[in-house]
Amino acid sequence: MTTRTQDLNTRPSLMSIAPSGRNAGAGIQMSNASARPFRPCADCTCSPGLLSRQNRRSSLFLKQLENSRRRNARKRGSSAGTGSTGNESIYSSDSLCQSNREMNTTGRLLSLRKLMKKRDLCCYIVPSEDEHQSEYVSFADERRAFISGFTGSAGVACITRNVLNFNENDPDGSSVLSTDGRYFNQASQELDFNWTLLRQGEDKLTWQQWCIREAKEMSLGLGGKTVKIGVDPKLISYEQVKAFGKLIQTEVLESESASVELVPVEENLIDCIWSEFEPVPERKLNELVLLNFEYCGEEYKDKKQRLMETLHKDYHESQTLAVVALDEICWFLNLRGSDIRYNPVFYAYLLIQKDATILFTDNEFSEEIALYFKDNQITVKPYKEVWNQLRDCCIELSKSEKPKTFLIPDNSSWQLVRQISASPCKMIHSPIDMFKSIKNTNEIRNARSAQVKEAVCLAQYFAWLEDQLVKHDALIDEYSAAEKLDQIRKTQKHYMGNSFETISSTGANAAVIHYSPPAEGSSMIDPTKIYLCDCGSQFTEGTTDITRTIHFTAPSKEEVTNYTLVLKGNLAVERLHFPEGTTGFHIDALARQFLWSHGLDYRHGTGHGIGSFLNVHEGPIGIGPRPNLLKFPLKSGNIISNEPGYYKDGEYGIRIENDILVKESSGGLFEGKKFLSFENLTLVPYCKKLINVKMLTKEEKLQVNEHHARIWHSIRPFLQPQSISYKWLKRETAAI
């Protein structure tokens, strides 16, 4: 590998706003039904998400901090200034919301609707994804966040223009934001008065049904005239388009004299108006990094040969494959990048044929990588040239003596399918996605090494945090704590950055599943409340994702009970032995069973795949209730997360997440099927204060004690015996 390293931990400019003056903070998930509603300042219509996009500052937090310091000084008998009455908590900060009427989405929606009028659209869809269907995208692709103010990673914005309103200067309409249960709280807090939240899985309508029904009503109002729903064809998958078309047929009956059509709009309308309101972000294209065999464990030529054999076996003469997913391209070529924060990927397309491999990218690369491309017969072309190349390739295939089918992945964009429509094509699930999910010997060895590094950092971090909060009575806000963890991690060799933005959350903020503390105005960590830290690193050796819920003082009986229920579910998954062919869909209930017995549950999956110095969320495997997981049984070599949780809106959140390896079990065979089991790779102790030992079985207590003993022996050698980290680890890993 080249000696040059890329810092993947660039902090995003799109921060969730979560002043602790709101019960649920600003994170990502859960219904806001029980939380105190957000109270804007006088006559304020601003969207908190847009305030964060503009990096607006508030002096209120600084005033609160100064008052807190004064109260703390008086508590110690100091002669510090007078401060406030002392009745309010020192651990909360005031709302960042300010009275700025211009900081809302009204102007943005008006400009968008004017463009919709010019293009004869009644509805416009703004997805979260980029043209590679990435879960996490660059600033330049955060179009949905721009138009709605909602900064979560998942969701779809839908905007209508009332075609019955003939006032061209002031077109009106409706707008909805659809997202899943992880983001209900965050969306409720970030969306302004222009938006309605559609809660996936809870509200009756999906965003597709909402769009179609709105369009249908407008068509009927125009006497059956065809009305159009538009979307950028690069940003929506062809599979979604097909499903949308079928839904139109179901929702719009011919007898109703209505006509609705989904149309591609190649000029992205958000891009057209962006500069009116904000400086338009640019895609950062950073230099590529080449992994050597020590880290990748399989040379490119061997990967390609394996791919060609699979294509020949499954699809016979069809051996031309387009690859669009960025992590698949990186894994297949043994390259890494840093174009998207926290994700070691770069922007590219890949076209693979038996005798040729063409990489489409604009990223720079070293002479070493240029030689690597030459030796492996990899041709590099400009990123946008992919569209012409796809067209030419289709023409070539159609003219061959035996016309061959073009293979495209099932995450292909609508635009890609439109580009090759003249040639026979077959949509498949990319074999590279399957290859990537099964780690080889080198990748597994490196994953264990990465877990040791992460565990050392977290032992140092939790020991420091407890020492500061409890022994020194320090004031530390969530954001500063996350920054401290970053500093600790930078002491580790081959640390390349975080694998996602650290979720550092205290009290009610921990109930927001994907909470991210804002740089300005994050809550003070309250040692009398639960603290949840979900964090991960990108090491050259591998990717980590760990969550620990801890308490620094005296937790309530309810918190202890619910933490123990979550822990029991985590342990149940970990000790499972199961036959080959079992999917994460089947395993999910094991993690929830103890919560279910108490009438509790959580609104997210139990586990996701984890990459090898790649994306922290990696398909196609996982543990959860999504039916799609039934297609992908777990296999030996998979690394996935195990992360059940419980969240009480407005009060606290609990999640316990380990990274686990699927491996062959010694259980023998049943009807020719081997048995598999899990190995817990994570080396961070559970919070003993939050465990009700009486609720654990003998098997569970033995499981916890064996895990803690392994942690002690693995991590102790990396800590100084007189350090607070050493003492913390010794205490937390002692037998229960």
What percentage of the chain carries pLDDT values higher than 90? 75
Give pLDDT, residue 256: 77
Task: Name the pLDDT band for 683 (thresholds 50, 70, 90).
Answer: very high
pLDDT at 662 over 50: yes
Taking only the tens place, the pLDDT of each residue in 237-251 is: 999 999 999 999 999
Give which of 188, 149, 194 is closest to 36, Cα–Cα. 188
pLDDT for residue 79 is more than 70: no
**Cβ(528)–Cβ(556) below 8 Å:** no
Helices (H), 121-172: 143-148
- Summarize pLDDT for 9-36 with one digit per residue, the tens: 433 332 232 333 333 333 323 233 333 3
pLDDT tens sequence across 361-407: 999 999 999 999 999 999 999 999 999 999 888 877 777 667 678 89
pLDDT reported for residue 403 = 66
Higher confidence at residue 22 or residue 76? Answer: 76
- Asked whether 210 and 250 are in contact (CB, 8 A), the reply is no
CA 168 – CA 145 distance, rounded (Å): 26
Q: Which residue has the higher pLDDT, 165 or 447?
A: 447
Collapse the DSSP code of 484 into the 3-class scheme (helix H, G, I; strand E, B; otherwise coil) and give the result.
Answer: helix
> What digits encode the pLDDT tens for the residues 274-287?
999 999 999 989 99
Phi, psi at 647, each rounded to 5°: -135, 120
The domain spans of the chain are: 106-276, 289-429, 441-706
| CA geometry: angle 51, 93, 78, nearest 5 deg | 145
What per-residue confidence (pLDDT) applies to 318?
74
Please enumerate in sequence order all residues whose Cβ is within 8 A of that of 638, keeping only pairs 6 or more positions apart, or say none.
437, 438, 439, 609, 621, 661, 662
Q: First-to-last CA distance in the chain? A: 44
Q: In this predicted structure, which of 134-138, 441-445, 691-695, 730-734 has the lowest mean pLDDT? A: 134-138
User: Which one has a higher pLDDT value, 726 or 52?
Assistant: 726
- Residue 75 confidence (pLDDT): 43
Stretch (H or E) spanning 435 = helix 431-437
φ, ψ of residue 696 in degrees (nearest 5): -90, 145
pLDDT at 561: 98
The tokens of 273 are what? 């108006």
Q: How far apart are CA 669 and CA 667, in angstroms?
A: 7
pLDDT band at 167 (very low <50, low <70, confident <90, very high): confident
State the maximum Cα–Cα separation within the chain, in Å, rounded to a whole number.
Answer: 92
pLDDT digit string (tens) for 80-126? 333 333 333 444 333 323 323 334 899 999 999 999 999 999 999 99
Among candidates 489, 419, 49, 505, which has minimal Cα distance to 234? 419
In Å, what is the CA distance from 731 to each residue of 131, 204, 442, 719, 734? 49, 50, 33, 14, 5
Range in 186-200, 482-496, 677-691, 702-716 the model is least confident about: 186-200
pLDDT at residue 514, as a whole number: 87
User: Which CATH number is correct for 289-429, 1.10.443.10, 3.30.160.270, 3.40.50.300, 3.40.350.10?
Assistant: 3.40.350.10
Residue 3's pLDDT band, with cuts at 50, 70 and 90, is very low
Coil, helix or strand for 478? helix
pLDDT band at 4 (very low <50, low <70, confident <90, very high): very low
- Give the residue among 247, 241, 149, 227 at the shortest CA–CA distance from 191: 149
Query: Can you say how many angstroms the Cα of residue 342 is from the centroid of all Cα atoms in its chain?
Result: 10
Q: Do domains 289-429 and 441-706 have the same CATH topology?
A: no
In the predicted model, is pLDDT for residue 594 greater than 60?
yes
Distances (CA, A) of 683 to 92, 344, 457, 569, 733: 32, 24, 11, 18, 10
Beta bridge partners of 178: 156, 198
Q: What is the pLDDT of residue 671?
A: 79
Give me the pLDDT at residue 13, please.
31
Output 55 or 24, whichever has higher pLDDT. Answer: 55
Q: What are phi and psi of 398, to 5 degrees?
A: -70, -25
Overall average pLDDT of the 307-317 stretch = 88
User: What is each CA distance from 213 to 231, 267, 465, 478, 545, in whole angstroms?
Assistant: 17, 25, 52, 43, 41
Residues in Cβ contact with 81 at an 8 Å cutoff, skipping those fewer than 6 apart? 70
Task: Return mean pLDDT, the chain.
Answer: 87
Q: Is the confidence at residue 723, as pLDDT, over 60?
A: yes
Kindly tell me if the per-residue pLDDT of 56 is higher than 80: no
pLDDT band at 425 (very low <50, low <70, confident <90, very high): confident
What CATH number was assigned to the domain covering residues 106-276? 3.40.350.10
Is residue 566 pLDDT above 60, yes or no? yes
CATH superfamily of 441-706: Creatinase/methionine aminopeptidase superfamily (3.90.230.10)
Q: For the residues 338-362, what does the mean pLDDT come to?
A: 96
pLDDT for 49 equals: 52
Residue, of 387 and 63, whose pLDDT is higher:
387
Q: Specify which residues 47 forms β-bridges with.
A: none
Return the closest-CA partner of residue 199 out of 139, 191, 108. Answer: 191
Residue 62 has pLDDT above 50, yes or no: no
Q: Is the pLDDT of residue 359 over 60?
A: yes
Given a cut of 60, is residue 259 above it in pLDDT?
A: yes
Strand ranges across the sheet with 542-543: 495-498, 537-539, 542-543
> d(Cα 236, Cα 413) in Å, to the nearest integer?
6
Low-confidence winner among 5-19, 66-80, 514-528 (lowest mean pLDDT): 5-19
- Give residue 181's pLDDT: 86
Dihedral of the alpha carbons of 181, 185, 187, 193, in degrees to the nearest 10? 130
Whether pLDDT at 64 is above 60: no
- Give the per-residue pLDDT at 612: 98
Which pLDDT band, with edges at 50, 70 and 90, does 186 fall under? confident
E strand intervals along 209-254: 226-231
Spell out the alpha helix ranges (H) of 628-723. Answer: 698-715
